Amino acid sequence: MITPAQDKAYWREWSKAKKQLRAYGFDDDEIETRRRDLTREVTNGRSDSHKEIRRVGEFTEWLSAVAAIHSPDDLDRQLELIRNPEKIRAYLVAQILAFGLPEGYLESMAHDLAGSENWQHLPENWQHLPEDRLRWFRNTARDRARSLARKS
């Protein structure tokens, strides 16, 4: 599911694309069909509802496609959007490590996350993990760190 911030970005970017499609001569029904088709495309046919966009790769792929509609000459913007998942995953891993949890906690969580207790290699392998799993890891690490702090 997309976050509230992603939902706002979705509609903000779509409004730009909608304006451009109207300039190209599309009517409202054709524009709505195009929006749903794009969403169906990035969710691999799973849904035409933007609320069903689940992975960061899907969302950024959709944003990139929409940027190609409203800013077709801005390739840098499209490439920036496509590369964004890596930045998000790197940030999540940095947050996980910054909580300063004991090694045993991280090993246990890494096992749950990736089937391996070798948490030290997560920064090298984060590109292969789904963003939702990394968010779970980050949220669990945050909650455990808070719990440990309260007990201290």
Q: Are 91 and 103 in contact (CB under 8 A)?
A: no
Domain ranges of the chain: 4-73, 84-151
Comparing C-alpha atoms, which of 8, 103, 121 is closest to residue 59? Answer: 8
| Helix, strand counts (H, E) of the chain | 7, 0
pTM of the model: 0.53
- What dihedral angle (degrees, nearest 10) is formed by the CA atoms of 8, 90, 86, 46? -60
From first to last of its 152 residues, what are the pLDDT tens digits of the chain?
677 878 898 899 999 999 999 998 999 999 999 999 988 888 888 888 888 887 657 887 888 888 888 887 777 766 666 666 666 676 677 777 778 888 777 777 777 776 665 666 655 566 567 777 777 888 888 888 888 888 87
Q: Give the pair of three-digit tokens for residue 85.
A: 């998942």
